[in-house]
Amino acid sequence: MRRYRFFKDYFRLLRIPQWIKNLFVFVPLLFAKQLFDQDLFIQVVLAFFAFCLTSSAVYIVNDIFDIEEDKLHPAKKFRPIPAGRISVTSAVITSAILALLTSYILNYLDFRFLLVIMGYATLNIFYSFALKHIVIVDIITIAAGFMLRVLGGAFVIQVPVSSWLILTTLFISLFLAIMKRRSELGMVLEDNPGITRKVLSEYSLSFTEQMASICAAGVIICYALYSVSDRTVMSLKGESMVFTTIFVVFGIFRFMYLVYKKSKGENATEIMVTDPPMIINIILYVLTTIYIVYF
């Protein structure tokens, strides 16, 4: 029982379910028609784990500096560090081990990917210390992290990445970050806006909903333009990718429905892996895209 609790606590400390975000590193490999190239696939897998280890190390640093705030949060107070099940010293040692493992993996990857990882780690450390307290800058920082994942994936396999794909990544990451803020606001009592993040007092439900609508439109428009861009049409010898836009539209609308009508959205990863319609939509999108791109 004690061993089970030990692994469970470290599983939560590392935020392993959040590793799904790092799958963005595979995007360039998929659309560059290199998914079945074994050597390149292995390179991207190494890049994926480099991002996973780095992100977990950053999560730990963030949890250490947010102990007092997390103790007041209705859900985060149960995390291992604020709950006192893992000491700050143990957390620091774990973060250092993750950094060393990342350094080892980087020896086998392109030098430009090293710069991306360093930029990602630096950006998130600044986020933990200051940027998360600045309205709008906080969500821009989160979006930048997703864009770095896509760029890192492109650098690893040494292919250029479409500007429309970068813009799609920007808008979808902004959308998810804004919806997270919207969900957090829904958990805060009107007479006690400081119960969780300090920056939440700078947002409002109407403001976040307006931003979410803009970003949702941005995702759909940029993806649609990517699917019919000259570069995409030439690569695929047709405009078949435009048919995958329907999955993107459904995913955006479904997510908004879950946030606005079901009061979910604070944990986007949980929605992606627990909501049946969302899971089916993602699987259909991936399978359809692979069929169009490769067959």
Is residue 255 located within the same domain as residue 209?
Answer: yes
Is residue 156 located within the same domain as residue 167?
Answer: no
Which of these, 13, 4, 1, lies nearest to 93 by C-alpha position?
Answer: 13
- Residue 217, in any domain of the structure: yes
Which of these, 161, 157, 164, lies nearest to 34 by C-alpha position?
Answer: 157
- Residue 294, in any domain of the structure: yes
| Final residue in a domain of this structure, among 161, 195, 211 | 161
For the segment 202-226, the average pLDDT, to the nearest whole number, is: 93
The residues near 167 (Cβ < 8 Å, ≥ 6 apart) are: 218, 222
Is residue 46 located within the same domain as residue 66?
Answer: yes
Question: The tokens 């985060």 sit on which residue?
Answer: 76
**Burial status of residue 138 (CB atoms within 10 A of its CB: 0-12, 13-18, 19 or more):** buried
Is residue 230 located within the same domain as residue 272?
Answer: yes
- Could you tell me the end-to-end alpha-carbon distance of the chain, in angstroms, rounded to an integer? 50
| Final residue in a domain of this structure, among 145, 161, 177 | 161
Name the pTM for this structure.
Answer: 0.88
Sign of CA pseudo-dihedral 274, 275, 276, 279: negative
Residue range 113-133, pLDDT digits in tens: 999 999 999 999 898 888 888
Is residue 135 located within the same domain as residue 85?
Answer: yes
Identify the helix (H) or strand (E) that includes residue 237.
Answer: none
pLDDT band at 88 (very low <50, low <70, confident <90, very high): confident
- Residue 103, in any domain of the structure: yes
Please answer whether residues 196 and 75 qualify as being in contact, where contact means their C-beta atoms are separated by less than 8 angstroms: no
Higher per-residue confidence, 72 vs 51: 51
pLDDT at 232: 87
| Residue 46 token pair | 């190494």
Is residue 137 located within the same domain as residue 110?
Answer: yes
| Final residue in a domain of this structure, among 118, 134, 161 | 161
Is residue 149 located within the same domain as residue 20?
Answer: yes
- Residue 8, in any domain of the structure: no
Please report, for the domain that includes residue 31, its CATH number: 1.10.357.140
When divided into structural domains, the chain yields a total of 2
Is residue 108 located within the same domain as residue 67?
Answer: yes
**Burial status of residue 55 (CB atoms within 10 A of its CB: 0-12, 13-18, 19 or more):** buried
Q: What is the 3-state secondary structure (H, E, C) of 26-88?
A: HHHHHHCCCCCCHHHHHHHHHHHHHHHHHHHHHHHHHHHHCHHHHHHCCCHHHCCCCCCCCCH
**Burial status of residue 122 (CB atoms within 10 A of its CB: 0-12, 13-18, 19 or more):** exposed
Is residue 23 located within the same domain as residue 156?
Answer: yes
For the segment 252-257, the average pLDDT, to the nearest whole number, is: 94
Higher per-residue confidence, 71 vs 168: 168
Is residue 146 located within the same domain as residue 171?
Answer: no
Instruction: Report the distance separating Cα 57 and Cα 35, nearest Å.
Output: 28
Q: Provide the domain limits for residue 116.
A: 16-161
Is residue 153 located within the same domain as residue 280?
Answer: no
